[in-house]
Amino acid sequence: MSVTADLYIEVKNFYARQMRVLDDLDIEQFTATFTEDGSVAHPHRGEKVEGREAMRAKMKSMLPMYEGLVTRHWFDHFLIEPAGDDGLRVTYYSLVTQTNTKDEVHFFSSSSVEDRMVRENGELRIRERVIHRDNPKFGRVI
């Protein structure tokens, strides 16, 4: 089963907005893109963070790591599928770059990501995000 062109565009615009606020380190706006009970399982930190409040606290504790850097999240190869719970399963690839004060660009990470999206009050929100680090020793995930 496929999604409509309008829904595909809506999902892609959702991610464009979400990543802009993340790259701007706007923690409040970023966490608002998740459901109140949403979660993120992040391999770089080896943990699953559940709920917007916990996400905000974790992100605030990591802000010093981004001082003097411009971080950009690059997403591509979207697969958007209806999920059994009237939501969506969205999988995609993520490349994260960081530029330092010397204008040097470095690759920070490469991952595949799986999101479970739902609609709340007419707006798309992420209920669950699982990030899989690209590493041959872990095998193919998606």
pLDDT digits (tens, 9 = 90+) for 111-131: 999 999 999 999 999 999 999
Which pLDDT does position 42 carry in this prediction? 85
Residues 69-78 have pLDDT tens digits of: 999 999 999 9
pTM confidence score: 0.89
Cβ burial of 93 (10 Å; 0-12, 13-18, 19+) is middle
Beta strand 123-133 with 34-42 is parallel
